Amino acid sequence: MTATGEKTTGRRALPDVRTGAVVVAVALGLLSIWLQHLITAYDEPFWGLFDNQLDLDVYRAGAQTVLDGGRLYDAKLLGQMDYTYAPVSVLVFAPFAAVPFLVARIVWTVLIFAALYWVIMMSFRALGRDITWRLRVVAGALVLVSTLLEPVRSTIWFGQVNIFLMAIILWDLLRPNGSRLQGVGAGIAAGIKLTPLVFTVYLLLIRRSRAAVTSVAGFVGTIALAFAVMPRDSWQYWTGTFVDSKRVGAPDTVGNQSLRGLIANLGRTDHPSTLIWLILAAVVAVLGFAAAHRAHRGGQELLAITLVGMTSCAVSPMSWGHHWVWLVPLTVIGVHHVLGGRRTVAAASAIGVTALVLTAFAWRTRIGGAMTYVGVEHPYALYTGLFFKDGIDTLRWFTLAPYLWILVVTAVVTFLVVRVPESRVDADDAVTASGSPAR
């Protein structure tokens, strides 16, 4: 049985990865190491891939504030940063506050790479591939290639948490329908960072009501736990702080890859129209969820979950580039079809993966002159991401928010290529009245 819960019996077994593909994957992985250094040298002060981890330091400072008896959401961490995650997240970050920052950085970075590998392997399994040493080599190479994507590079550089939340959600929702406590992982992820609540909506949409209820229970459980440990901070957060998007950043900040950010940056305003944003968000939400529902009915659960994840980034008030780590499983889907599809499918998938990588590539933009970053002055800036490219002004609609267009194209392609057999009965429709999967 695959990770999506579909029986493989009676289906054509997928062939193992060919030797030639393994060689190409290794070559691309090694090339990625060199390209990463070309983007910004590994030993570049502050701007090198492993020479920042600011967000991890903020997580540690927030945990230390609580341990010292301070008020989590009133404190100015590192002198000027606000804590933006839900209170229960402090319990996750507390161990990292107990060790020196260098140790925390090394451990956190290793965990990010491990999570990337786990996500890629889970994705391949969900697509029906057997785990072989060849596939593991390809997955390892894809980890290196994925670091060239701005969302992943920014995750490593900032020391961000989103890759772990995605891993929890994929592990939870890619299990067979009816698995014990399915939905709890998505609920816990939502308890740390609110946006994963959209997966509860998705579970209701595909009529997995028990998993949806479990998701809500997991979410409420994190709130109850935080209230038990940090009642004062929990009360402050859930009675107002959690809706204050200004704590995350101004909407017209370059790099805000949400619809609201696109509106703000196109209009060059820090007060984008709420009405326009809500209308566009509703349209994109309908598009994303409809495409996810079609993917689910077509047996493409990984694609469905990935679409929901990207949709959550699009409709959120603030979505930094590193929130879009959902491009990793999307890349795996493309590579899967390159490895095993018919010639025309493989060629089209190769073009699609190439376009995705070029769009999400960590394009470097050097900005000369002194700049201050969290109270520290630097002689220049080396930013990454297509959205920092000013280039041709008539293309700003694309370069300002390239990930939104990846979502739109993915949704449209899903409607065009994913077929739903007329005779297919949803797994949820086959659940008996007792709640057990029909056999």
pLDDT band at 12 (very low <50, low <70, confident <90, very high): low
Contacts of 187 (CB under 8 A, 6+ apart): 200, 214, 215, 216, 217, 218, 219, 220, 221, 222
How many CA atoms does the CB half-sphere of 142 hold within 13 Å?
29
CA dist list (Å): 110 to 105, 139, 156: 9, 16, 10
Give the whole-number percent of the chain exceeding pLDDT 70: 93
Contacts of 43 (CB under 8 A, 6+ apart): 51
**DSSP state letters, 251-284:** TTSTT--SHHHHHHHHTT-SS--HHHHHHHHHHH
- Of 329, 330, 326, 346, the residue nearest 338 (C-alpha): 346
Q: Which tens digits make up the pLDDT trace of 182-191?
A: 999 999 999 9
Task: Give the mean pLDDT of 370-386.
Answer: 89
Calpha distance 130→24 (Å, rounded): 20
Global model pTM greater than 0.85: yes
pLDDT higher than threshold 70 for residue 231: yes
The mean of the pLDDT values for the chain is: 91
Contact 262/404 with Cβ under 8 angstroms? yes
Contact 149/361 with Cβ under 8 angstroms? yes
Calpha distance 117→374 (Å, rounded): 32
φ and ψ of 295, to 5 deg = -60, -40
Task: Give the mean pLDDT of 336-340.
Answer: 93
Place of tokens 């990207």: 310
pLDDT band at 418 (very low <50, low <70, confident <90, very high): very high
Task: Give the mean pLDDT of 355-371.
Answer: 94
pLDDT higher than threshold 50 for residue 435: no
Angle, helices 184-192/162-173, rounded to nearest 10 degrees: 160
Asked which of 59-63, 248-252, 319-323, 432-436 is least confident by mean pLDDT, the reply is: 432-436
Calpha distance 268→393 (Å, rounded): 13
364's enclosing H/E stretch is strand 364-373
- Of 81, 156, 82, 163, the residue nearest 120 (C-alpha): 163
How many CA atoms does the CB half-sphere of 13 hold within 13 Å?
6
382's enclosing H/E stretch is strand 376-384
* Positive/negative CA dihedral, 209, 212, 218, 222: negative
φ and ψ of 382, to 5 deg = -125, 85
Q: Which tens digits make up the pLDDT trace of 249-261?
A: 788 898 899 999 9
Calpha distance 67→90 (Å, rounded): 10
How many CB atoms are closer than 10 A to CB 143?
23
Contact 181/150 with Cβ under 8 angstroms? no
pLDDT higher than threshold 60 for residue 436: no
User: Residue 195 has what DSSP assignment?
Assistant: G
pLDDT band at 7 (very low <50, low <70, confident <90, very high): very low
Q: Which tens digits make up the pLDDT trace of 119-159?
A: 999 999 999 999 999 999 999 999 999 999 999 999 999 99
Q: Which tens digits make up the pLDDT trace of 96-118?
A: 999 999 999 999 999 999 999 99
Give the whole-number percent of the chain exceeding pLDDT 90: 81
Place of tokens 């090198």: 48
pLDDT band at 315 (very low <50, low <70, confident <90, very high): very high
- Of 222, 5, 20, the residue nearest 125 (C-alpha): 5
For position 426, what pLDDT does the model report?
47
User: Residue 99 has what DSSP assignment?
Assistant: S
pLDDT higher than threshold 60 for residue 427: no
Q: Which tens digits make up the pLDDT trace of 189-206?
A: 999 999 999 999 999 999
Structure-derived torsion over alpha carbons of residues 169, 151, 409, 4, reported in degrees to the nearest 10 = -20
Task: Give the mean pLDDT of 262-267.
Answer: 94
pLDDT band at 423 (very low <50, low <70, confident <90, very high): low
Asked which of 79-83, 130-134, 371-375 is least confident by mean pLDDT, the reply is: 371-375
For position 340, what pLDDT does the model report?
84
Task: Give the mean pLDDT of 410-436.
Answer: 67
Calpha distance 424→430 (Å, rounded): 11
Alpha helices (H) in 298-324, listed in sequence order? 301-315
For position 220, what pLDDT does the model report?
97
Task: Give the mean pLDDT of 282-291.
Answer: 98
Q: Which tens digits make up the pLDDT trace of 46-58?
A: 999 999 999 999 9
